[in-house]
Structure formats: C-alpha cells, structure tokens
Amino acid sequence: MSNETQNINTAPKGKTPARGFVLIVDDEEQNRTLLHDPLEACGYEVEEAENGLDALQKIEARLPDVVLLDLMMPKMDGFEVCRRLKNDAQTAHIPILMITALSERKERLKGIESGANDFLNKPVDLQDVILRVGNAVHTKHLHDQLQAEQKKSELLLLNILPKPIADRIKKGETNIADSHADVTVLLADLVGFTTLSNHMEPREIVQLLNEIFSNFDVLVESQGLEKIKTIGDAYMVAGNISIPRPDHTEAIADLAIDLHEEIQRLDRQYDTSLQIRIGICTGPVIAGVIGYKKFAYDIWGETVNLACRLETTGQAGKIHVSESTYERLKDKYLFEKPHRINAKGQGDLPAYWLGRRLGDTTVIGAHEHVAA
C-alpha cells in the first residue's frame, strides 16, 4: 500500500473512524480493490458487487449504509441501478455516490435525475472518497435514528389510541368526536383485588395487574374489539367503533366468558381468589379524544352509563347485561329470567344474567341458566 494510502487510513490519535456498511459496485476488480482496502482499513465493513444485478440482489439481502456505484457497467448501468433503488421506499434513503470518468454536464444531470446523492471522479482521490463516505454514512445513521424514534412514537401513540384515530391525529386532525349508533360496551371490575393488594408489595400489585390486563388485551385483540381504557382495577372494552364488526354483541359476550375463564386460570396459577364482575350494554355512544398534553380516547353516553350501572349492581363471577344486549343474544345464549335494576335517570330497567352459548358446556356464575 502506498504512503499516501497509509496516511489516509490512519485516524487521528484518540479518535475512532466512522463505521458502516459500504457496498462497492464496479465491473472491474481492480477498481473495487482500490476502494475496498482503504475503506476496510478505516473500520468500514465492505462488500463488493461486480454488476448492477448483483448489487440489487445483495442490497435486497442486506441494506448498506452507502453505495459506491460505477456508472458504466454491462447488463445494467449505474443510472438504472440508482433509479431502481431510489424508486423503492425500502432503499430510497440509502446514499448513493456515483463514480464516473465522464465529465460531461449532461451525464451528471442524468445522474442527479436518477437520484444520485453525490459524485466521485475517476481516477479517484482516496482522501476525497474517505471523507465523502464518512459524511454519507453519518447522514444515513442519523436517518436510521430518526426512523427508530419515529417508530417508538408511533407505537406509543397506538398504545394510547386506536389505530384509525392515531392516523387521523398524525394527519393533523383535532377535536375528534364521532357518533356511533350501534356499539356494545363491556365494563369489567376485579372483585377481591383491593383486599389482595393490602397484603402485597407495590411492585407485586403492579406486576399482577399488568399480567391480568395484558392477557385481557390479547383476548380483546383476538375478538376484533377495542380496549378503551383501564380505571384502577376496572377494564373497559367496546365493539364496532373504529373497528367495524356487525356481530360485535356476540363478540363482546364471548369475550366476557373468556375473561371469566382467564381469571379462573390465573387464580389456579397464583393460588388467589379473584373474581370478575361484568356489565354489558348495547346502544349509541359518542367517542372522541380529550386532553391536550395527556390526551386519551374515551366514550360517553347512556349506553356507557348503563354498562357501568350493570357492572356495579352485578355479582362476582357473573355477566350482567341490558335488555338491548339480551335482544341481540337471546337466540344464541342461555339467560336467567329477567330482574330489574334502578338506573340513574332511567328508572327501573330489566336486566339479565348471561350464561353460556347454546351448545356450549361453559358454566358462568353460580346460578342455573334457562333458554330464553
């Protein structure tokens, strides 16, 4: 290696050379070697491709941080390789440095039109190559970091809001409030959790509640329903809001049964005696986003209020449903005979204890159920 190359490859004392993955594309081995060795000595991982098609295959297998691309090659020239990479969303952000012996203005304009980020002239100046590759790799790494942070932000947003609502907010929409004429709302409350938590360390309380609600989240997602929120040890779900589902009432009923079974499973696993009390109501709701700095997605209306009332007047281990919900399910599930509850602002209303689906052997609660 020449003294000039050795000087280029020697980093200043105390500094670490920039690192990255460089793909060199040239049909002449001598040219590839001329670039390969100095870049590798500077700490870059380097791979070679002997033509445009070979380059595209290698990029598909692994994305480089920068591509050094010769223009004049057989089978597929550098312009076409560059054009294909820049037209693909997966590779458009990769910096491409075109290496050419052509000095014609029109050739450079063609390269810019193809999407080239920079140019290197033949014969190459190795100092120039090292500096430009370093800048290109640094830019690529900044882009990757930005993408990673953006992905984290989007995941955090999706943990707070349903995806359709999150998409609307990202597009700049504010004051989101929608009317939904036909929704089924479920409110579940853990019975015995407060007493149990009095005998547990704070960390253990949070860990157990997190496991319970995380398992609930999986069941909700499997039914194509939407978790609205948790309130202490209570859990709210709705069907047919931002995720359309014509059979949302049945899906909520099946979820309620699954939630009971999940609590029973956890009781056996941890030797606890938790139970769950559930209220379900079907009808219209208003859904929207509230707050400015700590916003939240929520639902309101008489349907929500009645679901809450059914939960609070319910019994541990049982599923309490409104008449509107009963009418949707009476031909497919077993129910106890109706009773009446007092609902604030609505007077005495009929309510029902939901049992198993007809043909199923699952037992819900302690009472016998009869066909409607």
pLDDT one-digit tens code per residue, 74-91: 889 889 999 999 999 999
Positions in the chain whose pLDDT score sits under 50: 1-18, 366-372
pLDDT of residue 225: 94
- The tokens for 294 are 């700590």
Q: What fold characterizes domain 3-158?
A: Rossmann fold (3.40.50)
Mean pLDDT, the chain, integer: 86
Beta bridge partners of 227: 237
3-state secondary structure of 283: strand
d(CA 278, CA 263): 12
Look up residue 35 and give its amino acid: L
Q: What are phi and psi of 121, to 5 degrees?
A: -95, 145
Contact criterion met (CB below 8 Å) for 357 and 371 = no
Contact criterion met (CB below 8 Å) for 282 and 322 = yes
d(CA 193, CA 211): 13
Cβ neighbours of 78 (radius 10 Å):
24
d(CA 293, CA 187): 26
Cβ neighbours of 325 (radius 10 Å):
30
Give me the residue spans of the domains in the chain.
3-158, 162-371
d(CA 186, CA 182): 14
The one-character DSSP state at 259 is H
d(CA 179, CA 117): 49
d(CA 221, CA 37): 53
Of 178, 189, 167, which Cα lies nearest the Cα of 298?
A: 178
Whole-model pTM? 0.65
**Which class in CATH covers the domain with range 162-371?**
alpha beta
